[in-house]
């Protein structure tokens, strides 16, 4: 809603997908470790890119990971593919 009402300025640029995933995982590192989860990351081709806003894309992936942490039983495995 904020984007469609011009309340957020998107800064689109080519971004490596692997970097977005790494940044998001770093942001949820504490809750992951506190829950004893293991994160399995399928290595993404370093040349794979997306054109978008870094802040918003990392925020979106972080939200998905936070949900995975919340709904995965303690000591579980979270796969990022």
**Sequence-distant (≥ 6) Cβ neighbours of residue 74 within 8 angstroms:** 35, 36, 37
How much is the pLDDT for 7? 67
Q: What is the pTM of this model?
A: 0.85
pLDDT for the residue numbered 65 = 97
Percent of the chain residues past pLDDT 90, beyond the cut: 78
**Distance of alpha carbon 17 from alpha carbon 62, whole angstroms:** 13
**What's the pLDDT tens digit per position in 8-42?**
788 999 999 999 999 999 999 999 999 999 999 88
Task: Give the mean model confidence (pLDDT) for residues 47-66.
Answer: 96
> Greater confidence, 67 or 2?
67
């Amino acid at each position: 809603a904020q984007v469609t009402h011009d309340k957020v300025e998107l800064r689109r640029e080519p971004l490596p997908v692997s970097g977005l995933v790494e940044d998001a995982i770093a942001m949820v590192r504490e809750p992951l470790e506190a829950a004893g989860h293991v994160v399995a990351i399928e290595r993404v081709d370093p040349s794979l890119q997306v054109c978008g806003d870094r802040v918003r894309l990392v925020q979106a992936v972080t939200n998905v990971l936070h949900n995975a942490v919340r709904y995965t039983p303690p000591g579980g495995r979270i796969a990022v593919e």
